[in-house]
Structure formats: structure tokens, C-alpha cells
């Protein structure tokens, strides 16, 4: 399987990358943790976000979750407010 997935970016992740979505190569057996590693390599500033959550198909996903073609992925940064 050699395809790519679109990762939706919100808040500070959008600001750090300058994009609202990025495309990441999807290889067979890639996990959420692997995906984050690729994103950190391509966008080192993202590694500084401590409590970044990943949603796959609208559900929060653990680092071990294996991704599939056509998954909808979103990076959800911490939210502040007052």
C-alpha cells in the first residue's frame, strides 16, 4: 500500500506549519505514533506541543492505532481560554 493521507491541522498546529492540512505518505502498518514521528521530522516545531491529541475518523486514537487508507486524521492541540 503506497498512498497518502491528509492530516487536518487546527489552532497552533496550523500556525506552526502554515497550512490547514498536510499530506503524509501512508505505508502498510503505519501507526499514529509513526505518523507523528513523520510530522515531527517534517515540521520540527510540532514536537514542542506537549499534549497534542490525534483523532482518526472522529475518535481519539492511541499511538499504537494502525492507520488505514481513507482514514480522516486530525491533530488537536491543547485549547486555552478563560
Cβ atoms of residues 6 and 75 within 8 Å: no
The predicted structure's pLDDT at residue 50: 84
Domain annotation covers residue 82: no
User: Domain tally for the chain?
Assistant: 1
What's the CATH number where 45 sits? 3.10.20.30
Q: Residue 50 in 3-state DSSP?
A: coil
Structural domain includes residue 11: yes
Q: Yes or no: say if 78 and 49 are a contact pair by the CB < 8 Å rule.
A: yes
Q: Specify the pLDDT at position 24.
A: 87
What does the alpha-carbon distance between residue 47 and residue 9 come to, in Å, rounded to a whole number? 14
For range 9-35, the mean pLDDT: 92
How far is residue 65's CA from residue 51's CA, in Å, rounded to a whole number? 17
pTM of the model: 0.86
Alpha helices in the chain (DSSP H): 11-17, 32-42
At 32-75, the pLDDT tens digits run: 999 999 999 999 999 999 889 999 999 999 999 999 988 999 99
- Residue 18, in any domain of the structure: yes
Within-domain flag for 64: yes
Which residues form the domain of 11? 2-76
Residue 26 lies in a domain: yes
pLDDT of 81 over the 70 cut? no
Amino acid at each position: 500500500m503506497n498512498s497518502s493521507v491528509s492530516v487536518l491541522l487546527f489552532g497552533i498546529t496550523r500556525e506552526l506549519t502554515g497550512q490547514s492540512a498536510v499530506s503524509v505518505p501512508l505505508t502498510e502498518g503505519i501507526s499514529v505514533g509513526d505518523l507523528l514521528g513523520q510530522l515531527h521530522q517534517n515540521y520540527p516545531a510540532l514536537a514542542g506541543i506537549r499534549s497534542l491529541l490525534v483523532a482518526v475518523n472522529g475518535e481519539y486514537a492511541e499511538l499504537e492505532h494502525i492507520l488505514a487508507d481513507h482514514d480522516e486524521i486530525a491533530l488537536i492541540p491543547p485549547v486555552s481560554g478563560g
